[in-house]
Amino acid sequence: MNTIDESDIRAFLQTLIQRKLSNSYINQVINAIKFYYEVVLGMPHRFYDIERPRKEYKLPKVISKEEVIAIIKNTNNIKHKCVVELLYGSGLRKSELLNLKINDIDSKRMLVRVENAKGNKDRHTLLSKIALDDLRLYFKEYRPKVYLFEGQKGGKYSGESVLRIVKMASKKARIRKSVSPHILRHSFATHLLETGVDLRQIQVLLGHSSSKTTEIYTHVATNTFKTIKNPLD
């Protein structure tokens, strides 16, 4: 390994780029190489000149409130309807939805308790009155035992099922964009920002550890641009 020089490492990284692997993956490879040489072999700063790929900066994809309502109306049954209403109305990640227990729905305080979310943190987020009314109908019909949403044989509902619910309802609603559970979460945050909710409050609802993560929604919220007069007009 001591015979390998920077040109060899660069050539290896170039093959990873040609395979169209993500920037984050390539950065992890560089970190592993640096750890091996600098920590394991005790050769500090061996490859400090290797240029890292720039971090990808992508804006969140968002759909309109009208499109969200259309998706909800095109779900197949009350269970599917509640799944979409909670993904959007509470801004949940898919994994958070799947981990919800029955007693995580706080109807008195109109909150949803999210336990062991990303970063092993608990938080509360909003519970929609519309979603609560539908959840009561759903509970009477399906009678879940432990998790709020369970499979046909009991146990936790699958992520594939949630993804399929969103995709099928979006297709029936004739929405041309590709909609995922995470796009519903992005839309929840963006629509709150557009109605004047403070960024700090949105950060708490989403469970973001850094405000910079939440600030990205200012780049897609329509109220960011409403005060700007279009030069064509």
- Which positions are catalytic? 93, 118, 182, 185, 208, 217
111 forms beta bridges with: 106, 126
Tokens of 220: 């897609």
Give the whole-angstrom CA distance, residue 189 versus residue 123: 16
106 forms beta bridges with: 111
Tokens of 43: 């050769």
Q: What are phi and psi of 174, to 5 degrees?
A: 60, 40
DSSP string, 20-69: T--HHHHHHHHHHHHHIIIIIS--TTTTTTPPPPPPP--PPP---HHHHH
Tokens of 219: 């780049």
